[in-house]
Structures are given as structure tokens and as C-alpha cells.
Chain A
Amino acid sequence: MSEHAELKTGPLEYRREDGPLTILGFWIFLAAEVVLFSTLFATYAVLFGRYGEATPAHELFEMPMALTMTFLLLVSSFTCGIAVHMMRKESLKGLVIWLIITLALGLGFLGFEIYEFVHYVHEGATIQSSAFWSAFFTLTGTHGLHVTLGVFWCTAIIIQLIRFGLTPVIARKTFVIGLYWHFLDVVWIFIFTAVYLIGMVV
């Protein structure tokens, strides 16, 4: 069957005929995700500064916190890139180790985000406090939800890698979770800039 034809050269994830198509499909999904987040960013920008009775953002946003979260996600994006590099060198052990490091950093990020949300709620800024805080928690919460999903997904991929080894199908799945993880970092760059940095300065 030509459907299962495999190339003998090139990156593993592109060797099966359906590999490039699946990866293309995932890029289309990512484009849709970009648009999804754009609506949340637009809402946030429009409602910016509408604190009502609640605490203003610049009294709660803290640079060390925002920078820590940014660096955790930046480093995890880097380690995820190394993982895909290891996959292309067909080193299963290296791939799994770097994916586990990525996972740990992702969990660290989530821990900080949960701590941050709890802190804000204690300071009287909840999702119900004002238009601004609704937009803030929806935007950062949606991103956090994506990271949570990524953590579960990555765990599932690691289990598959350990059980089935590096086949073209699993390689394609690993490449796709890699794309997803980098994408989350891209979104976070804009959250860090448009939410935290601008929130501190305006």
C-alpha cells in the first residue's frame, strides 16, 4: 500500500506519507489558536484600566514574578527544542530526558501561575471584581489551561515513547507536541508584554 510507504531519509516525522499532512493540519490548528487568543487580547485591551472598585493592576503586578514565569516558559521552550533535536538524532533516551525536563518546567510555571491567581484573589481581585480582572483572568487562565493540557499531553507522549520506541508515527506526535509547546511560549511572550509590562507602566 502506498499509504504506508516510508521514506528512508529525512526527519523521522516526515517519512510516512501522512506525516507532513498531519503536521500541516496542526499548523492550521495553531493558526486558529492564534485567532482565538487574539479575541481575548482584544477584549483585554478594550477593557484595560476598567478596575471598578477592585485593586488596579499596577498595584498587584510584580516584575520578579512575571520574569520568573517568563523564564520558566522560555527555558522549557528551549529544552523542548533540544528534545526534538534529540529525536532527529534518533536518540530515544535524550528525547525522553529532555521532554521530562520540559514537563518539570511547565509544571513549575503552572505552580507559579496558581500561586499568582490565589494571591490576587486574596488581594480582592477576582474574575468577578471588574471588567478588567474578568478579561485578565480569562486571557491568562485560557493560556494556563493550554499549558495544563500540554502537560497531560506531553506525559502521554512520554509514555508512548517508552512503550513503543521511536517510530515515524510517534515521532510525528512528538514533533506536534513540540510545536504546541513552542506556540504556548509565543502566546506567553505577548501576555508578558501586553499584560504584565504594559500593566506595570500605565
Chain B
Amino acid sequence: MNTEVKIAGVSFKNPVMTASGTFGSGMEYSDFVDLNRLGAVVTKGVANVPWEGNPTPRVAEVYGGMLNAIGLQNPGIDVFMERDLPFLQKYDTNVIVNICGKTVSDYLEVVERLSDAPVSMLEINVSCPNVKEGAIAFGQKADSLYDITSQIKKKAKQPVIMKLSPNVTDITEMARAAEAAGADALSMINTITGMKIDIHRKKFVLANKTGGMSGPAVKPVAVRMVYQTAQAVKIPIIGMGGIGNGEDAVEFLLAGASAVAVGAMNFVNPYTTVEVVEGIEAYMRQYKIENVTDLIGAVE
């Protein structure tokens, strides 16, 4: 049985990754899972300087999912290079660094700082719904997405994944723009903007009022978007949205994803990532599938 997948020339021992922002830089979950078992660790978004993030409350539970408005709190690229990257290097897994910024030059600064770093790929966050400047502002218009993607591609030494927002009229239009600008892969979906109101206090539950929704409740939306995008572009897709077990992951692969990422479900069960790896293997055994790549886009 072969679970290896290749994305933009990078080899992954299996198609299971972590979704940015749900796994820190791996350290916190290394108490629970052997990071060597994962195809990749995708880090929490890293900016050129430390970001404070939003006021609390930053998280809320909703039916079958959760809202978050963390606001991309992160220690910045200096601390990431000194502390987090050396930690991740101890493991036999790909490191994908998620990059966020307020301006194009913020992104480019981080991209350049990572140019000689032991990092397999870069994932560009142009889809966080919880910050006022940057991020989603680049991901909701095809021309700005094209522009930032091509600027990053000019500087980046590693293959570039653009992480797309579902908060658009037509995600395939964004996907095509990123592909046309030279993106090597796409990851999707980022969270869906939502809101929760405490009716007893007549107040917003999140200090930010709105937050990004994730968890099992968003999975059908994510599977649909992955399927539509896989029909529209040739570059590989990393699918995510509520994946909690091997069956969920297989659904994304069949829809056209070349790999998957586990996000909010890490919070529900800290062992989810490895259980997804094992669940995909069990499915492959059950249906006598030799190569996991045979599943990609195989929905009939």
C-alpha cells in the first residue's frame, strides 16, 4: 500500500497535514501525536513582526462547529526561526509555513527570510476573515489575488500554496487567478465568516463580533468547493473543512484534493491527525486500493 503523494515536486509520506492555526508549530500536540507520522505540519500564520491578535472572547462553540477570531496572534518570523523551526526540524515530516501580512511587502519579507530555511512549502494566508488589514483583503478579488500571488512567486524559493477563502461568490474564479499567477497549489477552505449572539446578554459572543466558522458543520461546503475547484484548475488542492476521520479525508480526496488537512477537530480529539492517517489506510485496505493517488478526484 502506497500512501505517498507529491505536490509541486514535494513528496509527502501520506496526504495528511495540519490546518494552519489549529496546531501551533506542532509543539503543543507533540505530547499527543508522533509528528513523524504526518505528511506535513502546516504552521500557525507567521508575520514579519509579532501580532497581538484580537481581544477575547476569541472562540465560541456553535452547532457542530466553532467560531474563532484569534486575529492571527503570532510571535513573528524572528522567534519562529529561532524556536519553532528548529523544533520542527527534529521530525521527519514536511514543514509548510503559513504566512500572513498586512501589506504585500509584509508577506514578501517573510518569504525572503525563509528562502534558505528548511521549509518544504509556503502557504500564503490571503483568507483570514478576522483581521482588518491584509489577509482576506487580498483573497476576495481576483485581480488582487493575482497580483500578490505573482509577487510572492517572484521571490519565493519554495513552492507556493495559496489558501483560499470560501467567503466569495465564486471560489473557482479565485482559484483560476492564483493558478494564472503561478501558484503551485491551493489549500481550501479557510473558515466561513459567522456570528453568534448571546440572547440573554444581548451581546455578541465574540469580541470581534464575527468569527471564522470551522468544524464538521462546514464540511459539505468545503467538499463542494474542492470539487468545483478541481474541475476548474490543474494545480493540486489541499482540502480541509471539518475533517475528523479517515472517511472524511477520503471524501475530500475523491472530490479532487491531493492532500487533506485536519483543523478544528484537533481540538475535539488531539489524536485526530494520526487517526485520519490510519483511517485512510483502513479504507485503502478495505477497497484494495494500492496507491492513495488513485483516490484523487475519483468520484464518479
Say whether A and B bind each other: no
